[in-house]
Amino acid sequence: MTNSELEERLTDFSVQVLRISIQLPGSRTGQILSGQIARSGTSCALNYGEARGAESRKDFIHKIQLVLKELRETFICLKIIQKTKLIKREDEVSDVLSECNELISIFVRSVRTAKGLK
């Protein structure tokens, strides 16, 4: 997968997360989760853009680790949304959870590769 393809995949993921965020109820709980998932779910794509312009290997690794951190945060948030059944279309949340999990795997490997680990 090229850098551009990965960036596009992260952008699409961010859009999916925002669509879920919009569907959350207007209750206090819904508002909190909506804001949280919107921030972390879009931050991963934005941080990847920063990583592509990293000034050094160390800077690149740091920014990729930020992408991973935001993806993990989004994953937990999606699980909470799924378990509380705050969105009627559970399949939509499941699909985004699956994509998030795949992206986490990709970035775990990326960090290991960048650090020279197996």
Q: What is the DSSP string of 54-92?
A: -SSHHHHHHHHHHHHHHHHHHHHHHHHHHHHT-SS-HHH
> pTM score, two decimals?
0.93
Give me the tens of pLDDT residue by residue for the chain, a chain 118 residues long.
899 999 999 999 999 999 999 999 999 999 999 999 999 999 999 999 999 999 999 999 999 999 999 999 999 999 999 999 999 888 899 999 999 999 999 999 999 998 887 6
Range of the structural domain that residue 107 is part of: 3-115
Q: What is the CATH number of the domain that holds 24?
A: 1.20.1440.60
- The tally of domains found in the chain comes to 1
- Contact by Cβ (8 Å): 97, 78: yes
Contacts of 10 (CB under 8 A, 6+ apart): 44, 45, 48, 67, 103
Q: Are 100 and 82 in contact (CB under 8 A)?
A: no
